[in-house]
Structure 1
Amino acid sequence: MARMDSPSPSAELPFTGERFVPGARGEIWIEHWHRYHFAAQFATGLRVVDAACGEGYGSALLARTAASVVGADISAQAIEHARQAYGARANLSFVQAPCTKLPLPDASADLFVSFETVEHIREQEEFLDEIARVLAPDGLLLLSCPNKREYSDRRGFANEFHVKELYRDELAGLVARRFRHARWYGQRPSFFSVIAPEPHAETGHLAEVTEAHPSEACSALGEPLYFLVAASRTMGTLGMLPATLSVLADRDDWVHRDYEKVMRNLETAGAQLEEMAGHVDTLAKAREEAMKSRDDALAWAGELESRLAQAERTVSEQSRLIAERDGEIERRAGLAWWLRLPFLRLLGRRK
């Protein structure tokens, strides 16, 4: 049983989703570290090649026990980082190169490791040819890739960085054309309860259940999310590979704690959602009342406008009548003045 305490660089590459970095969290962290801990069992005293090594964390882990490790990656940034972070190990070196054209001699590796690489390239046949060239005649290949049926088809998921994912028969054919013998492993991240003998476990036992039928246990892992193929030209090489279960245990229990944190956040979000739904109902009712009040106000405003228009018509009519009256008064006043005018003149002469 491997522990989740392994080397980590002081400065990390940013996580873009294209390649794993130790600072990433969640399932991807468990998946990637587990593969390298699994491979480390077979690296002791061997010449190892880690193709598509990324930022170098896995190569550094393998170098703990290997005679030598060469990490190769097409990214200049990743290789520069790997050299700075892990280059102090005398038995560890890094080269920038595509995995289809490695600057390594023929038959120069006893163990060839490449995890989650083949699905990122179109030249898959050329990649396997290069592995066969670099690997010694009795060397061991450890190759992993997503199970397309489970990883993408069933989940309706599309990884933008994957060029060509493989079904099991496609991967099997790709490997079998270079290596006659293979042993298959399936990997799937999962929450689990561990019961282990003290001080260490020598064999494994797997009991997998479903939520619907927890009393019915299956001794085999269900549909794997990832395939891990161990292959060689000689059957004897595969003899050192165990047929037992491999478990990567979370010593700090941070995965479960993160899960509980997420669940608490979901519960809080659910409660907040219910509260917001109540607010929405209240606002909807208030809006309905406001709309009714608005309709009433509009109706009243319409009535007032009608009354105002009527009042304006009345005022206009009265103004017209007053104007006519004033005009008549002026007319009559003017006539009386002229009628009186000769009488006034006569009075003036008598004086």
Structure 2
Amino acid sequence: MERYTTEHLFHQWYEHWHRYFWVLPLIKDLQLADLACGEGYGAALLAQHAKHVTALDIDAATIQKAQQKYPQDNIRFVCADVLNTGLAANQLDCITSFETLEHLAEHEALLFEFKRLLKQDGVLIISTPDTDVYNPEDKHNHHHVKELDRVEFQGLLSRHFAHSALFGQQLQLASVIKPIDNQAESVTLQAKWVQQGKEFTAHKDITKPQYLLAIATDCEQNLEKFKHLGGSCFNDSENSLYKHHEQQLQRLQSVDKRMPELEQQVQRQATIINHLKARLGL
């Protein structure tokens, strides 16, 4: 089973944590469920803001570990099938379910269950890889049962919810300029994309996001509120991924520098071997 754990660093760390941090501003005091919660790290983060979080996963051992690791009063961990949760209907203000859809073939049944659990004005926040970008050369992830492209994902949501908004997530390398004499928690950033040719030309972001995130609801007012989440930039204070990238580049450059020397050593050894073979009549 494909499952992210917090011990996994680098690109997965950024992608998985970012989704949960992204929704935090709008879940304060909500009744929430994180369905297919995995080891529970996201549910624990959501519980710092939500009124109560029900965290559900099909794997009993994973749920048991989550209960031990995150013993918060406002989290309930449940072992159940996400297609048949057994939870009470019409009780949830919000459902989060990240990277769940592609592991199941029964997409319609999954959305029916989500809809059953939500209040009339409830909101679903869901993510899945865009198969056109995630598998550009049909390099299928064997853990994934059924992936969707953007059009298919939007179509699925529209069959179950009156309103939806789509977002894209992609890991990108960027240079950041920010004020350092203002220690405000949040800083407004301008995003610039350029293409380098003979001259730099600025243009809109034309990159294709690897992951699709959607907000879906029957309540237009709630959609507008959640749409204010907008774009989001996420990083760790240690800039770990970039540092790892630089370390690997330095290692490869060091290997490249040694290659000519090693090739000469191999050639000298081959000459010696051939000389010895000749003397031995081999």
TM-score, length of structure 1 as denominator length:
0.74
Distance 2:206 2:236 in 1: 19
Instruction: State, as a whole percentage, how many aligned pairs show the same letter.
Output: 32
Greater Cα offset, 254-263 or 272-281: 272-281
Unaligned runs of 5+ in 2: none
Q: Cα gap change, 1:123/1:283 in structure 2, threshold over 3 Å: closer, same or farther?
A: same
Instruction: Name the SS of the counterpart of 1:239 in structure 2.
Output: helix
User: Which residue is equivalent to 1:237?
Assistant: 222
Distance 1:104 1:249 in 2: 35
Distance 1:52 1:25 in 2: 20
User: Which residue is equivalent to 1:137?
Assistant: 120
Unaligned runs of 5+ in 1: 1-16, 299-351
More strand by share: 2
User: Which residue is equivalent to 2:130?
Assistant: 147
Could you list the per-position Cα deviations for residues 39-71 of structure 1 after superposition, in whole angstroms to 9, with x for gaps in the alignment? 222211111110100000000000001011000
Could you list the per-position Cα deviations for residues 70-93 of structure 1 after superposition, in whole angstroms to 9, with x for gaps in the alignment? 000001111001100112x11111
Question: 1:103 is matched by which residue type in structure 2?
Answer: G
Instruction: Name the SS of the counterpart of 2:146 in structure 1.
Output: coil
Question: 2:174 is matched by which residue type in structure 1?
Answer: F
54, 77, 87: which is aligned to 2:61? 77
User: Which residue is equivalent to 1:220?
Assistant: 205
Residue 221 (structure 1) shift = 5.5
More helix by share: 1
Greater Cα offset, 51-60 or 234-243: 234-243
Q: Cα gap change, 1:203/1:234 in structure 2, threshold over 3 Å: closer, same or farther?
A: farther
Q: Cα gap change, 1:137/1:274 in structure 2, threshold over 3 Å: closer, same or farther?
A: farther
Distance 1:117 1:217 in 2: 36
User: Which residue is equivalent to 2:252?
Assistant: 266
Cα contact 1:107–1:133 (8 A) shared by 2 = yes
Q: Cα gap change, 1:214/1:122 in structure 2, threshold over 3 Å: closer, same or farther?
A: farther
105, 112, 118: which is aligned to 2:101? 118
2:3 corresponds to 1:19:
yes
Cα contact 1:48–1:110 (8 A) shared by 2 = yes
TM-score, length of structure 2 as denominator length:
0.91
Cα contact 1:203–1:245 (8 A) shared by 2 = no
Distance 1:141 1:220 in 2: 26
2:151 corresponds to 1:166:
no
Task: Return the structure number with greater relative CO, CA threshold 8 A, min gap 6.
Answer: 2
Task: Give aligned pairs, total.
Answer: 278
Distance 1:18 1:223 in 2: 24
Q: Cα gap change, 1:260/1:192 in structure 2, threshold over 3 Å: closer, same or farther?
A: same
